[in-house]
Amino acid sequence: MRDIIKMLSTGKTKAEKPTGTFRTTTKNKKKTTEKLEMMHYDPRAYNPETGKSGMHVLFKETKI
């Protein structure tokens, strides 16, 4: 049995506010009990090193 889950970005904008970018995926509820965390590309996340938007950030599982 696979359930649909929402992955919310931990990236921040230039104004230090959350980007609100999310992805959806599926997860096997019978085998996995811990929260899922993955690295993905967020086009709205601000990178202070380069001064540009868009970088890979951590996406964490949240409620739908």
Tens digits of per-residue pLDDT, 20-60?
Answer: 999 999 999 888 888 999 999 999 999 999 999 999 999 99
What pLDDT digit, counting tens, does each position of 6-16 carry? Answer: 999 999 999 99
pTM equals 0.88
- Report the C-alpha gap between 45 and 42 in whole angstroms: 6
Confidence grade of residue 2 (pLDDT, cut at 50, 70, 90): confident
